[in-house]
Structure 1
Amino acid sequence: MPPILTTDRLTLRPMKMDDWPSYEQLMLSDRSRFMGGPFTRFNAWGLFCQDVAQWHLMDHGALMIDDSQTGECLGQVGINHGPLFPEHELGWFVYAHAEGRGIAFEAASAFRDWARNQRRLPGLVSYMDPENERSACLAKRLGATLDNDAPRPDPQDIVYRHFGG
């Protein structure tokens, strides 16, 4: 069952159908280019369902990021694994209106800590496009280090290791 996590400003909560329109819009846009997009609507739906299904299959998945005061959805943080990912991956995105406010850092920190302390995962990495400088800066801010020897789903990706390995 997905947890509900809270920080000073945020609530990380399970996904719901109401999240689909904003998620779809992001995945169909150029903003998804560092995640393998832009995607077709069909593929975006598959990713949305995968984010939900991983909770039932692997006891981890994605959580949406809400502003605790307003309830506005600001983005998503997730832990991916399974046949497409060699290691547990911590990933994140925020919608354009939420950028530059430390939302991704706060949400990723909370979910990383949950993965280590509650779920007891052996390690976390973040896979990213080498041109995604903003995510690389965030990974470093989270304390992750570049791991050039880590296996990766896409040979072009760079890998930041949060813990374990």
Structure 2
Amino acid sequence: MALYGPIIVTERLILRPPAPEDFDAWADFSADPETMRFLGGAQPRSSAWRSFCGMAGAWHIAGFAMFSLIERVSGRWIGRVGPWQPEGWPGSEVGWGVARAFAGKGYAREAAIASMDYAVDTLGWEDVIHTIDPENIASIALAKRLGSVNRGPTRLPPPYEDAPVDAWGQTAVEWRAQRARLKL
């Protein structure tokens, strides 16, 4: 199957647009209450299908969306990371979510660095945010490691308008100044 979008290869990952063979792992990811705690809540398979198709469709409509993360060694789908800005979003976001079995291994960081580079260098974004629940300690730690700062509370569009989130972020100029220290 042809993919609509880039393929980025890092030391341990392949970042590419979602493909049909990713759906079962996406659905498992979406059904896990712990993984989805700060990502809108666990979803049944039918809702996961709609979010999966929405992400894939964003590549065609907007020209970007989150990448499927594929572990190079195993070929397994392990999460989604990358640029995201659906209608009504509070800014141009690089977001991340890694399946629980792969959390804590540095995959989100590796993919977020590649995604920040893509957002700034290829998409031309002048500012990048990460919308993070104030209780999501792991994502806050990653945002800080990327050099982002908490800009304060923001609001997501419906149906997430009541979710507490802060906008962490940095400008493209700030990212370019510090990214060399972050390279793996």
Task: Give how far 1:152 is off.
Answer: 2.8
Question: Scaled by the length of structure 2, what TM-score is found?
Answer: 0.82
- 2:19 match: 16
2:94 maps to which of 83, 90, 95: 90
- Distance across 2 between alignment mates of 1:8 and 1:22: 22
Percent same amino acid at aligned positions?
31
Report if the CA contact (8 A) 1:77-1:93 is conserved: yes
Secondary structure of 1:33's aligned partner: coil
Instruction: Choose from 155, 162, 166 the match for 1:158.
Output: 166
- The whole-number CA distance in structure 1 between the counterparts of 2:148 and 2:22 is 29
CA distance in structure 1 between the partners assigned to 2:98 and 2:15 by the alignment: 13
Q: Which stretches of structure 1, 4 residues or longer, exceed 6 Å deviation after superposition?
A: none
Deviation readout 1:48-103 (Å, 9 max, x if unpaired): 11111111111110211112233222211132113131211111111122111100
- Looking at structure 2, the residues matched to 94 and 41 of structure 1 have their Cα atoms a distance apart, in angstroms, of 18
The correspondence for 1:114, drawn from 93, 111, 118, is: 118
CA-atom RMSD in angstroms: 1.8
CA contact (8 A) 2:83 2:94 kept: yes
Q: Which amino acid aligns with 1:38?
A: A
1:136 Cα deviation from its structure 2 partner: 0.7
Q: Secondary structure at the match of 2:43?
A: coil
- 2:36 matches 1:29: no
- Structure 2 unaligned segments of length 5 or more: list them: 173-184
